[in-house]
């Protein structure tokens, strides 16, 4: 019933500057990974459910990302919309000992 | 008949098995009914709407504010076009339904479409009533130029346009009811002299009695609006356009425009033509169904229910709720029993509330009257058998909440009758708010109940502003704001203050601009993250505050500012303007709109090489290359090898110029040179909002200098006029004359000083058209021109520092400032495709 959990290495964490996000293709899914100034990492869907805006280009703070097109906001930790839009997906993400980004996705 | 249905529905997927709901009329009632239906059953219907106005749904009540210029027409939309898309509603805007075949269940519209329905809602509202008068219409049946109805956005826009013609100075409004008074007040905003001509014996005779009408007249005349009562207009004078009106038994009144606000008539032609039962309006039962077909409902001003026709929004909210309950099956027993119309309005700035009887009708009726004409206050109550059966209140609304409640529900009245007129210590405003039933409608414009407000407070909105944002209460005519405040205060247990954030520079830091700037200077905070760490509650970052802080810090610290990319909006991070499909637009600098063969050739080559989908001249006289993917930006800039033209960001943008002295027959000043010099000097300077400038070579103003943030006009004798605070976008404002000077150099000094003063003192995103009136022209002139406060040298010096710190941002293309700065963030396919026009 459950699909296998797959860990995927997205490469060095340094490709994301502090405070910003970058988009990745994770087995066909578009994922935006954000690296907070605190060092915390969050991964949510990269495509805004509102009008398809580039979430990775959004501005963040400790809790939300704001889509650059029409300024809808989504929680970084859960992908939940704070402005009445459908929610974004979210994925667990971390850094391994080599400083690489590891994202936990499910593959069908 | 069905053979003509070659494009029958436009209703998406034929495999869709949902019921087909068609709505005729996209006004306040039609759209509200659909909102209520979606709330109950998001997916039960495939919805198609027809509206013969070419717009989404807007708040008609707010047209008065649009007319007076308090609100832009963009701000009054309740549901944008996007809302219809999001809810998968097939909206035919600008299309008129011409016939309903209720046997075949088809709707015919004037675009030749035939739309089948399972259920239908008629919400066609009313039209302005045009009394018959000689000279009202031209030979072709159109209204005489200068004559207006007051019902739609287009009417309102037409009035504004006509009123702003310079040689139009005098207007007459026919009709002294709510609408007429609002129109009169609105037209005054354009400097017109306005007379109101009213056939009745006193103003607003439908809502208030003669005494109140007289006090209202005094209040209105204090505003400079002259009122003629018992005055019947018999003719509109003028051959080609309005030149005056003719009154029975009164001298004629010369005027340039006439607004007819003489009442409304339900819009029932369609229903009559389609065989529905129509008396004064379309007859419906308690479920809002027409009596002729169980599948056809009607709602709003076009409806007659138990003999009553309503002309205000509060009843239609109630009707919409019943209709939705019934049609979705959410509550099959829902029934509408009619509304008791208690009106609470702000008319031409005067609070007016009226309910039930205007005066006593039986000998035993008890009447209380209080009148204080000087202050424009009037209160009268009619009491029968210990129940309130009528009330009129002008000017002082402190007891209105209680009176409406007593009227609606027949509450027992206090022994001490005076308590019903005034706050005699007790019961206090809060107490009377407390007494209100939960479902009392507080905001009629947007149909918000007391319970909804309390709910918002319980849900965490602790300020009046937040509750208003959340519920839309108070965002209509504004007459309920006091009551909204009272309820929010009461619900929050007195824990509410005036919206503290109103004066904050950005939402994330609880400080106004001067305090924030002082703290930044004292603590030497040079980056956005350090400002959050030092000044935000718990040091927490706040995404929506970042742009404003980045701009402020850059202005304050110039070269010493620590540029953190994440503090900037994407446009400023990649120095280009994001478009709706996630691509960017690139605008090279073209100072003063002047270009050369080399530049044109280079731009053409780049456009060809990078397959630029659209090349467009902008309103700021530059060439825009649209549709560039983010990852291509560095290559495009490198190939252009031209400086950025700043078409993005909150900064100094462009200087538009006319050809001026060099070529123009009329030019008296070298506008092109001055424009180029200004742009060279101030390019890229950050500011609280964008700044657009223009220079024009003579008062003919070909570059439109009067409607720019800063505009220069050459006048005879080599002199220049400097205008500030103009706008010609969503808001329109003619700039104010700051000074007239003798030389280019003086222009440069004064505008630099003004822009610096604006940069230091404007709120975030406050354009000069708000800033200049807020501070006051006199004060700005004192500081900038006469240096009365001794600030000039400092302003000049700080502007000079900013100028010296200028770097062309496009040079970043060669060496990205951060890893992946120009990496795409997009799977482009899912974005809306921007239609590409190919030049021919
Ligand atoms: C300037 C102004 C100020 C007002 N102020 C207040 C106020 O302060 N308080 C208050 O309670 N009320 C106020 N009103 C009244 C209020 O706006 C109306 O009661 C309300 O708009 C009625 O809603 P409705 O949907 O029935 O009609 P409307 O809002 O008029 O909507 C009907 C729509 O149907 C369209 N239509 C008609 N026939 C067809 C057809 N055959 N095919 C397609 N479309 C069609 C019309 O073009 C229109 O867009 C004001 C009205 C005006 C004009
Ligand atoms: S503004 Fe005056 S000088 Fe400039 S182009 Fe127009 S007419 Fe000529
Ligand atoms: S596309 Fe993201 S907010 Fe509109």
Of B715 and B75, the structure prediction assigns the larger pLDDT to B715
pLDDT on residue B118: 96
Nearest CA in chain A to B581: A53
B335-345 CB burial, b ≥16 within 10 A, e <16: ebeebeebbbb
Q: Which two tokens stand for residue B473?
A: 């209460």
- Best mutation target, B820, B822, B823, B833, to test chain A (most A CBs within 10 A): B820
pLDDT on residue B838: 44
pLDDT on residue B423: 65
* Most confident of the following: B471-480, B616-625, B821-830: B616-625
Give the largest CA-CA distance in chain B. Answer: 93
pLDDT on residue B8: 44
Which ligand gives the minimal distance to the CA of B86? Answer: 3
Question: B127: CA distance to ligand 1 center in Å?
Answer: 8
DSSP state of A53: -
Of B786 and B312, the structure prediction assigns the larger pLDDT to B786
**Residue B345 banded pLDDT, cuts 50, 70, 90:** confident
Model confidence at B47: pLDDT above 90: yes
Residues pairing with B92 in the sheet:
B50
Model confidence at B827: pLDDT above 80: no
- Judged by a CB distance cut-off of 8 A, whether residue A20 touches chain B is yes
Contact between residue B25 and residue B316 where contact means Cβ atoms under 8 Å apart: no
Which ligand 2 atom is nearest residue B664's CA?
A: 8
Ligand 1 close to Cβ of residue B477 (< 6 A) = yes
At B74, phi and psi to the nearest 5? -70, -30
Query: Hey, what's the torsion of the CAs at B175, B181, B184, B186, to 10 degrees?
Result: -140
pLDDT on residue A108: 42
Q: Is the ipTM of this complex over 0.90?
A: no
Which ligand gives the minimal distance to the CA of B78? Answer: 1
**Residue B330 banded pLDDT, cuts 50, 70, 90:** very high
Tracing tokens 């009245």 back to the chain, one arrives at B413
Q: How far is B545 from chain A (nearest CA, A)?
A: 9
B578 contact residues in A (CB cutoff 8 A): 57, 68-69
What is the number of helices (H) and of strands (E) in chain A?
A: 0, 10
Contact between residue B575 and residue B809 where contact means Cβ atoms under 8 Å apart: yes
**Residue B757 banded pLDDT, cuts 50, 70, 90:** very high
C-alpha atoms less than 13 angstroms from C-alpha of B292 in its C-beta half-sphere:
19
Angle between helices B481-491 and B464-471 (to 10 degrees): 110
pLDDT on residue B4: 39
pLDDT digits (tens, 9 = 90+) for B209-221: 888 899 999 989 9
Nearest to A34 by CA among A10, A7, A4, A69: A10
Residue bearing the CA closest to ligand 3, atom 4: A70
The pTM score is 0.55
A53 contact residues in B (CB cutoff 8 A): 582, 831
Distance CA B482, CA B231 (A): 36
Percent of chain A surpassing pLDDT 70? 93
**Of B110-119, B351-360, B720-729, B752-761, the least confident:** B351-360
Ligand 2 close to Cβ of residue B199 (< 6 A) = no
**Residue A93 banded pLDDT, cuts 50, 70, 90:** very high
Q: Which two tokens stand for residue A99?
A: 């400083």
Q: Which two tokens stand for residue B395?
A: 């000017």
B543 contact residues in A (CB cutoff 8 A): 58-61, 64-66, 73
- Best mutation target, A57, A84, A99, to test chain B (most B CBs within 10 A): A57
B544 contact residues in A (CB cutoff 8 A): 59, 66, 71
Q: If residue B690 lies in a helix (H) or strand (E), which one and from where to where? A: none
- Judged by a CB distance cut-off of 8 A, whether residue B540 touches chain A is yes
Q: Which residues contact A23 (CB under 8 A, 6 or more apart)?
A: A30, A31, A32, A33, A46, A54, A55, A56, B823, B824, B825, B826, B827
pLDDT on residue B831: 40
Which ligand 1 atom is nearest residue B128's CA?
A: 53
Interface contact A69-B578, CB threshold 8 A:
yes
What are the DSSP calls for B425-482, one per residue?
Answer: SBS-HHHHHHHS-TT-EEETTTTEEHHHHHHHHHTT--SHHHHHHHH-TTSSSSTTHH
Contact between residue B299 and residue B123 where contact means Cβ atoms under 8 Å apart: yes
Residue B643 φ/ψ region, left for φ over 0, alpha for ψ in the -120 to 50 degree band, beta for the rest: beta
pLDDT digits (tens, 9 = 90+) for B493-511: 766 555 666 678 888 899 9
pLDDT on residue A3: 55
Distance CA B101, CA B275 (A): 9
Model confidence at B447: pLDDT above 60: yes
At B157, phi and psi to the nearest 5? -60, -40
Residues pairing with B51 in the sheet:
B93
Q: If residue A97 lies in a helix (H) or strand (E), which one and from where to where? A: none
What are the DSSP calls for B143-191, one per residue?
Answer: BPTTEEE-SSHHHHHHHHHHHTSTT--EEEEE--SHHHHHHHHHHHTTT
Percent of chain B surpassing pLDDT 90? 49
Q: What is the mean pLDDT of residues B374-396?
A: 88
């Amino acid at each position: 019933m459950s699909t296998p959990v797959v860990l995927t290495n997205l490469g060095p964490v340094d490709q994301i500057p502090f405070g910003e996000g970058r988009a990745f293709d994770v087995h066909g899914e578009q994922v935006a990974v954000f690296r907070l100034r605190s060092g915390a990492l969050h991964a949510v869907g990269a495509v805004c459910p509102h009008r398809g805006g580039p979430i990775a280009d959004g501005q963040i703070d400790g809790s939300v990302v704001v889509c650059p097109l029409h300024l809808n906001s989504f929680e970084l930790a859960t992908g939940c919309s704070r402005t009445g839009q459908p929610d974004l997906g979210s994925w667990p993400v971390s850094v391994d000992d080599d400083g690489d980004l590891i994202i936990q996705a499910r593959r069908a | 008949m069905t053979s003509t249905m070659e494009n029958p529905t436009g209703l998406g997927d034929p495999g869709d098995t949902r019921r087909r709901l068609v709505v005729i009329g996209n006004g306040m009632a039609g759209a509200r009914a659909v909102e209520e239906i979606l709330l109950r059953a998001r997916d039960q219907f495939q919805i198609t709407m027809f509206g013969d106005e070419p717009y989404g749904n807007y708040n008609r009540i707010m047209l008065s504010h649009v007319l007076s210029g308090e609100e832009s027409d963009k701000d009054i939309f309740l549901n944008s076009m996007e809302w219809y898309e999001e809810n998968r509603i097939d909206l035919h805007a600008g299309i008129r339904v011409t016939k309903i075949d209720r046997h075949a269940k088809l709707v015919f519209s004037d675009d030749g479409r035939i739309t089948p329905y399972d259920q239908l809602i008629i919400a066609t509202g009313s039209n302005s009533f045009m009394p018959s008068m000689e000279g009202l219409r031209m030979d072709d049946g159109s209204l005489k130029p200068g004559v207006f109805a007051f019902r739609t956005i287009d009417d309102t826009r037409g009035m504004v346009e006509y009123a702003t013609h310079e040689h139009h100075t005098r207007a007459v409004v026919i009709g002294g009811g709510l609408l007429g008074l609002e129109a009169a007040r609105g037209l005054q905003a354009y400097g017109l002299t306005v007379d109101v001509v009213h056939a009745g014996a006193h103003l607003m005779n439908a809502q208030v009695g003669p005494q109140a009408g007289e006090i209202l007249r005094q209040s209105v005349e204090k505003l400079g609006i002259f009122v003629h009562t018992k005055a019947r207009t018999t003719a509109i004078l003028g051959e080609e356009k309005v030149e005056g009106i003719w009154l029975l038994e009164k001298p004629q009144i010369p005027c340039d425009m006439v607004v007819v606000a003489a009442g409304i008539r339900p819009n029932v032609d369609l229903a009559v033509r389609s065989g529905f039962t129509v008396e004064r309006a379309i007859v419906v039962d308690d479920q809002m169904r027409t009596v002729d077909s169980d599948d056809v409902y009607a709602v709003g001003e076009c409806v007659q229910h138990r003999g009553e026709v309503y002309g205000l929004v509060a009843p239609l909210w109630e009707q919409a709720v019943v209709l939705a309950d019934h049609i979705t099956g959410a509550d099959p027993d829902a029934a509408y029993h009619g509304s008791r119309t208690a009106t609470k309005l702000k008319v031409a700035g005067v609070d007016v509330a009226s309910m039930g009887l205007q005066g006593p009708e039986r000998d035993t009726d008890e009447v209380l009257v209080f009148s204080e004409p000087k202050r424009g206050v009037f209160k009268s109550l009619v009491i029968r058998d210990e129940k309130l059966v009528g009330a009129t209140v002008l000017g002082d609304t402190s007891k209105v909440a209680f009176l409406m409640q007593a009227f609606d529900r027949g509450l027992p009245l206090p022994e001490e009758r005076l308590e019903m007129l005034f706050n005699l210590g007790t019961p206090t405003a809060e107490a009377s708010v407390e007494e209100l039933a939960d479902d009392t409608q507080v905001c009629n414009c947007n149909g918000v109940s007391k319970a909804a407000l309390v709910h918002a407070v319980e849900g965490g909105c602790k300020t009046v502003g937040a509750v208003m944002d959340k519920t839309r209460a108070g965002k209509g005519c504004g007459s309920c704001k006091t009551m909204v405040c009272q309820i929010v205060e009461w619900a929050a247990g007195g824990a509410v203050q005036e919206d503290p954030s109103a004066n904050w520079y950005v939402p994330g830091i609880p400080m106004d601009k001067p305090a924030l700037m002082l703290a930044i200077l004292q603590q030497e905070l040079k980056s956005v993250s350090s400002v959050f760490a030092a000044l935000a509650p718990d040091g927490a970052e706040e995404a929506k505050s970042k742009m404003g802080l980045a701009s402020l810090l850059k202005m304050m610290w110039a070269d010493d500012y620590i540029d953190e990319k994440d503090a900037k909006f994407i446009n400023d991070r990649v120095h280009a303007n994001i478009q709706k499909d996630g691509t960017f637009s690139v605008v090279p600098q073209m100072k003063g709109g002047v270009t050369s063969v080399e530049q044109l050739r280079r731009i053409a080559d780049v456009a060809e090489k990078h397959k630029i989908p659209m090349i467009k001249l902008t309103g700021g006289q530059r060439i825009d290359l649209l549709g560039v993917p983010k990852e291509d930006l560095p290559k495009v800039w490198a190939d252009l090898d031209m400086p950025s033209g700043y078409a993005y960001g909150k900064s100094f943008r462009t200087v538009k110029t006319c050809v001026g002295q060099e070529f123009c027959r009329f030019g008296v000043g070298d506008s092109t040179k001055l424009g180029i010099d200004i742009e060279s000097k101030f390019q890229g300077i950050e500011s609280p909002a964008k700044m657009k400038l223009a220079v024009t070579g003579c008062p003919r103003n070909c570059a439109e200098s009067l409607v720019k943030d800063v505009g220069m006009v050459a006048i005879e004798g080599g002199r220049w006029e400097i205008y500030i605070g103009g706008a010609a976008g969503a808001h329109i404002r003619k700039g104010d004359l700051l000074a007239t000077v003798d030389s280019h150099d003086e222009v440069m000094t004064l505008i630099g000083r003004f822009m610096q003063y604006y940069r230091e003192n404007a709120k975030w995103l406050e354009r000069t058209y708000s800033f200049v009136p807020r501070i006051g022209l006199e004060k700005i002139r004192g500081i900038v021109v006469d240096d009365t406060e001794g600030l000039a040298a400092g302003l000049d010096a700080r502007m000079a520092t900013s100028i010296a710190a200028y770097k062309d941002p496009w040079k970043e293309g060669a060496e990205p400032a951060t890893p992946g700065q120009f990496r795409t963030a997009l799977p482009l396919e899912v974005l809306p495709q921007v239609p590409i026009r190919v030049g021919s």
